[in-house]
Amino acid sequence: MNRDGTVAAPQVLVPGVVSLAASSRRTLKHGDSFAMFDEFGDVVEVEHSPAGLFHHDTRYLSQLIFTLEGHRPLMLSSTVQTDNLTLDVDLTNPDMFVDGELVLAKDTFHVARAKFLWQGSCHELFTVTSYAERAHRLRLALAFGADFADLFEIRGHQRTRRGAVRAEVRGPAEVAFVYDSVDGQPRATRICFSLPPVTLTATHAEFELELDARERRALGVTVHCEQGTPAPERRFFTALRQARRQHAIARAGLPSIESSNSVFNSVLSRSSADLAMLTTDTPHGPYPYAGVPWFSTAFGRDGLLTALEMLWFDPSIARGVLRFLAAHQATSEDAAADREPGKILHEMRECELARLGEVPFGRYYGSVDSTPLFVALAGLYWQRTRDRATLEALWPNIRAALEWMERFGDRNGDGFVDYGRRMESGLRNQGWKDSEDAVFHADGRLASAPIALCEVQGYCFLAWREAALLAFDLGEKQLSAELEEKADQLAARFEASFWCEELGTYAIALDGDGAPCRVRSSNAGQLLFTGMVRPERAARVAQGLFGADFFSGWGIRTLGARERRFNPTSYHNGSVWPHDNALIALGLARYGHSEAAVALTTALFDAAAHMHLRRLPELFCGFDRRRGKAPTLYPVACAPQAWAACTPFALVQACLGLEVDAAAECVRLRQPRLPAFVDWLVVKRLCVGESRLDLVVRRHDSSVAVNLLERQGAAEVEVVY
């Protein structure tokens, strides 16, 4: 699936996708299920909108509308709690008239609506409280429906076959929608009520509550997403306790960050909760699903970059990602899936269209960068943890990935890893900018395949270099020397082929004829993170990224404003991507440009402070910052998005110049800085092997002081000014 709305390039495009506004949608997720409600907690059907309850990319609930006495209630408040577990909505009745006479004054009844997802089910509790002076009969109703629409179908794919949906009443308090799947996978939605409705049809339930003055009554509704096996029945509070317990266990022992700035703390708290919500337990460990609604599944590149940006803070994410991707590494060739032995997964889907092969994304490998990023993350994880058991288990997969880079990664033999889809159904562009028009020449012509992206060469350099260090530590000295030589040779070739003196930066890519695409892009900024480029040229790249063409005031755009295809509302050709900025910030810190890293951090946190829930989305538009105006949102951006959620943590790392060296049992801070809006920052329970450290960093004008608050174990702190 293309990230700009292209489903199966080039023939499937999204015709005007409608999205819920970020400020009005309420998002929940657990495991392989997610739900998007409006601010009332309802699901209102809108064409091409991802509203509803989804399980494995299939919509199991497409309508849910709650009414009081035949009217939608008035909303008092609507909040997803800070831990992202529950949606709480407070409602009341409007003034109600019969023949012009007021029969029920507004605010007489309060309805507290709470809902959460747990193990493939949506649990909901309505608590109705009467503030009437006498007994009253109140009529509540729910209208519901299930269309079993595939997520790709919602995005605009014109499917060739679909099964029928039948609805049936299964007793006094249960309704089921059963889908006659084309792929043979049983799918059903079962809706259960804690109280028998007075009226129950296949699409409507009506309740009458007899309420004394000041009396409170509760109504539970559970929506089960079933794939053959009936879901177990759990009471609302029993399931909620289990969900909270699992949430607490998953977060126990993690480091924490606190600062002098409450808004800064709020952004970090939301990011932490978003990442926890998106992270799904798999048989191989935790995996951060890419984003809701369009990418709530395992993506190779997204998972790898998320793990990489969180590595200093929570290395368990990297372990889960590496083990999951190793388990799904390609072992054979399949042109339709762009699959070759040793290649790392791009995308994994369980929906009907993927299972039928109508879209190629069931197990799809069309990503040029997932494989080198897998190797690079494995090496960096080793440096961070010295987890020998995991790395020895992964070593055959790492060797297979390195073999793919040599055997399949360079299609035209020019010494650079490149890509080109093997069938028309595959993705045209296979880097992180995978829009159809994301890679082009200065005159606007699209680049021809095979395409060698500049940042991918940096990823490969990092992969060779980290694999060399890992091989040495595992006792394979000869292999280590060979890998080190490959890294050095690649760096030399790259400088000669990609540097554009007249642009002061690196070409975005080489096309299939070896001609450089002389376009100024943020891709060149990511090279700094990999450490491949010369310091003097890294300085010129950094300078250009903070010029008016790139720096919007809210962050660095993906494309220079003078480029032929620049558009601040484009998905990849002029917008601002938080994760892209985070990688650039880490690169700036790596090359000693700490003040620039602080400036970029300030811009991104200013943007986050304006966002709904202080949540950085997948991307936002690249318009210049104006006084009194917030950043312009991109209409179909995922929020939450994993690599956007981890951006604040990567920015903190960049500002502090923080490295964790497990072999030396040391936390190292190189040229640490704090933004002007933070006076002090505390990191607690930072793990270094078996040690735990609590650090405090205090700002003093343009410098900082670092103090060790507490230490458990032998780890040291080193500060390099």
**Tens digit of each residue's pLDDT (9 = 90 or more) over 240-262:** 999 999 999 888 889 999 999 99
In this structure, how many other beta carbons lie within 10 angstroms of the beta carbon of residue 166?
Answer: 12
Q: What is the mean pLDDT of residues 210-214?
A: 93
On the CB side of 544, CA atoms within 13 Å amount to: 25
Using one digit for the tens of pLDDT, what is the confidence trace for 69-86?
999 999 999 999 999 999
Using one digit for the tens of pLDDT, what is the confidence trace for 484-520?
999 999 999 999 999 999 999 999 999 999 999 999 9
pLDDT mean across residues, the chain: 94
CATH fold of the domain at 253-656 = Glycosyltransferase (1.50.10)
**If pLDDT is split at 50, 70 and 90, which confidence band does 311 have?**
very high
Q: Give ranges for CATH 2.70.98.40 in the chain.
A: 26-247
**If pLDDT is split at 50, 70 and 90, which confidence band does 21 have?**
low
pLDDT at 99 over 90: no
Minimum mean pLDDT among 119-123, 422-426, 441-445: which range? 422-426
**Following DSSP, what letter does each residue of 468-519 receive, concatenated?**
HHHHHHTT-HHHHHHHHHHHHHHHHHHHHHHEETTTTEE-SEE-TTS-EE--
Residues 6+ apart with CB under 8 A from 288: 275, 278, 279, 280, 302, 303, 306, 307, 317, 321, 642, 646
Residue 82 CA to its chain's centroid (Å):
17
- For residue 491, give the nearest of 515, 458, 469, 537 by alpha carbon: 458
In this structure, how many other beta carbons lie within 10 angstroms of the beta carbon of residue 281?
Answer: 13
User: Which residues face 145 on adjacent strands?
Assistant: 63
CB 575 within 8 A of CB 558: yes
Query: Whose structure tokens read 């990823």?
Result: 459
User: Which residues face 29 on adjacent strands?
Assistant: 34
Q: What is the mean pLDDT of residues 634-644?
A: 94
CB 43 within 8 A of CB 124: no
Q: Give ranges for CATH 1.50.10.10 in the chain.
A: 253-656
pLDDT for the residue 9 = 33
- For residue 622, give the nearest of 562, 585, 577, 583 by alpha carbon: 577
**If pLDDT is split at 50, 70 and 90, which confidence band does 701 have?**
confident
**If pLDDT is split at 50, 70 and 90, which confidence band does 2 have?**
low
pLDDT at 391 over 50: yes
**If pLDDT is split at 50, 70 and 90, which confidence band does 3 have?**
low
Using one digit for the tens of pLDDT, what is the confidence trace for 557-588?
999 999 999 999 999 999 999 999 999 999 99
pLDDT for the residue 12 = 26
**Position 308: which residue type?**
L
Q: What is the mean pLDDT of residues 639-663?
A: 97
pLDDT at 656 over 50: yes
CB 175 within 8 A of CB 168: yes
Write the CATH number of the domain with boundaries 26-247: 2.70.98.40
On the CB side of 494, CA atoms within 13 Å amount to: 29
* Share of residues in the chain with pLDDT > 90 (%): 90
User: Strands 33-37, 26-30: parallel, antiparallel or unpaired by DSSP?
Assistant: antiparallel
**If pLDDT is split at 50, 70 and 90, which confidence band does 16 have?**
very low
pLDDT at 5 over 70: no
CB 57 within 8 A of CB 151: yes
CA distances from 402 to 122, 464, 468, 508, 526 (A): 43, 8, 11, 24, 21
pLDDT for the residue 22 = 60
For the entire predicted model, the pTM comes to: 0.94
In this structure, how many other beta carbons lie within 10 angstroms of the beta carbon of residue 441?
Answer: 20
pLDDT at 547 over 90: yes
CB 449 within 8 A of CB 512: yes
pLDDT at 198 over 50: yes
CA distances from 304 to 220, 391, 532, 564 (A): 40, 16, 19, 31
CB 51 within 8 A of CB 34: no
On the CB side of 90, CA atoms within 13 Å amount to: 6
SS3 content of the chain, % helix, strand, coil (to 5): 30, 30, 40
pLDDT at 427 over 50: yes
